[in-house]
Structure 1
């Protein structure tokens, strides 16, 4: 960036020691630095960019790399394919009655990340230990929260869909720019889930958060902007351009100014009790899969397939299964 204003140059104690090249390969996302912008892109389009055990680890690593890179002023997160993120990769776990363990890379044997440990703990015929469930799920939220706790601003660019666990990621970003026809929400509150990020009330206020989570309803991108969940909604063909306008305006500011502003504003958000909300929500997320209704949903997924169970969950009176909000 060239500008006569002296506070916009890239001189400073770290500027001549910027890391060269891009970090190593990731399983779930790609990473690149473009000028003052770090671009993180979920890269499992065939699976709707669904969340695996690799996702929070790799996301946190990529965020930390960008946070430490003196070239980077702002971090942008998006998704390849038809949508931003369709939530946890739960199809195999639900169909095999392993509701606690999202599929993905090999876990650490004998730990709470071991699928066999989770399978045993989530067997309806055995005693459930909620803290084993919490120890596993809290690690996902911890990885996603790197977006909130990064020193530098984070922006989510959402197209297509951002549902269920996908919102656990996006709501940790400082800014959300969304396509006006996108779908965002947490339908699993209807059965078998509570949003473990615990951010909905903090982002929307009590009444509007309850309006969504007491029904599992979703918003269109346009509605998300009207409600204040997103900072801007754009026509799908204009989403990249509108996001880039915001990102470049942020990037023009000095890094230290961005850090001070974000820390100051985060202090108010954290004072509201975000961490306590996340702890309680993560515990209840586990409990929701160990109710009579949760077991019934799980059994149905095992009998007919996870997608069909979700289709039935989102049938009448909701009638909102699929990638559209059906709200025009």
Structure 2
């Protein structure tokens, strides 16, 4: 474990001189600070926007994106990837922001897709925004396409599901560093979000995994092998087992774990140190490191995984799970799925 680091390191040193050589600590200034800033005399950006699944706040050099459906375990709806992508782009465009922190309110980070919508109601309970009506995101269209008694068009499914993946991938493709703070649980689709972050920091007791590989799901992000390596990724996804935050750090999935009571303090220390770096240095470093990740085939992994995620929901077992969830409720269907593995009591929200 690195540190301990002060949560509030000494602030930037600003000089009134227009000569950069007269400012020995000018590298601590951001793009909008200093008399020679290109943003001098320019207004602050007007980013006023309301989100249905999260909140956005700029705190100095830190943009804070917080999932805000605690009563549903911050479960994913069709709004989530659109909200996240918009908020990430908002932070990326703001010259005052150096680092983006993503977290969740309530008992956990994100419990995956909202099965009350996607399984029990077969998409029929999703009230999407008006602009999705008649598109590949239209809930009615997808409900018809997921009818076990009808014909499944895999490309309608892919067109829909890939939009979720692209929204979550905004964390990876943002110019600026992204940090995910995990507590409680990051399960199933919640890992599709978290694994796209540049850094994961978590509480020791966080539950992390993708149980839907037992039926009705393949991780659409396709990032497990890239983050964990081949054998450890297969160990988790061949069984649907979960690991703790402490084990995630031991395996290299998280950069750090700590007792839950210390998570806020440790996270603030990390993002404060990142925020102290010049934003252009952060961007260049991220782009350089992402080049290596992209060379590993991340985009191809996401495409294949997203396609197979759709396939997994249309196998005999996938249809049986969806039908059972619609009949007895998804919690009972999840219990029946997980009981042979001995961990069904640990499931809360997930897909």
Residue 224 (structure 1) shift: 0.4
Counterpart of 2:136 in structure 1 is 112
Distance 1:16 1:310, change over 3 A: farther
Aligned residues: 322
Q: Partner residue of 2:27?
A: 7
* Shift in alpha-carbon separation, 1:35–1:102, aligned structure 2, 3 A: farther
Matches within 5 A, 1:167-186: 167-186=191-210
2:285 corresponding residue in structure 1? 261
Within the alignment, does 1:272 sit opposite 2:282 as a pair? Answer: no
User: Partners of 2:271 and 2:225 in 1: how far apart?
Assistant: 26
Does the aligned pair in 1 maintain the 2:75–2:113 contact within 8 Å?
A: yes
Secondary structure of the structure 2 residue equivalent to 1:168: helix
Compute the displacement of 1:18 (Å).
Answer: 5.7
Aligned to 1:17: 42
Write the distance in 1 (CA, Å) between the matches of 2:198 and 2:91.
15
Which residue matches 2:126?
A: 103
Q: Is the 8 A contact 1:90 1:103 kept in 2?
A: no
User: Aligned pair 1:82/2:107, yes or no?
Assistant: yes
Kindly provide the CA deviation profile for residues 282-301 of structure 1, in whole angstroms up to 9, marking residues without a partner as x.
Answer: 11000101111111111211
The verdict on how the C-alpha distance between 1:61 and 1:102 changes in structure 2, with shifts beyond 3 A counting, is: farther
Alpha-carbon distance in 2 for matches of 1:320, 1:109: 37
TM-score scaled to structure 2, two decimals? 0.88
Deviations 1:55-102 (A, max 9, x none): 111111110110111111000000000000000112233123x26x78
Structure 1: gaps (5+ residues): none
Distance in 2 between residues matched to 1:114 and 1:272, nearest whole Å: 34
TM-score (norm 1): 0.94
Measured after TM superposition, the shift of residue 120 of structure 1 is 1.3
RMSD, matched Cα:
1.7
Stretches of structure 2 that go unaligned for 5 or more consecutive residues are 1-10, 14-23
Contact 1:50 1:87 in 2 (8 A): yes
User: What are the Cα deviations for residues 18-49 of structure 1, in whole angstroms up to 9, with x where unaligned?
Assistant: 62565321111101111110000000100110
Look up the match of 1:244. 268
Q: What are the superposed Cα offsets for residues 158-217 of structure 1, whole Å, 9 maximum, x if unpaired?
A: 110000100000000000000000101100000000000000000001100000000001
Does 2:71 align with 1:71? Answer: no
Deviation at 1:105, TM superposition (A): 2.7
SS of match in other structure, 2:342: coil
Range that drifts further, 289-298 or 172-181: 289-298
Alignment counterpart, residue 125 of structure 1, candidates 149, 159, 176: 149
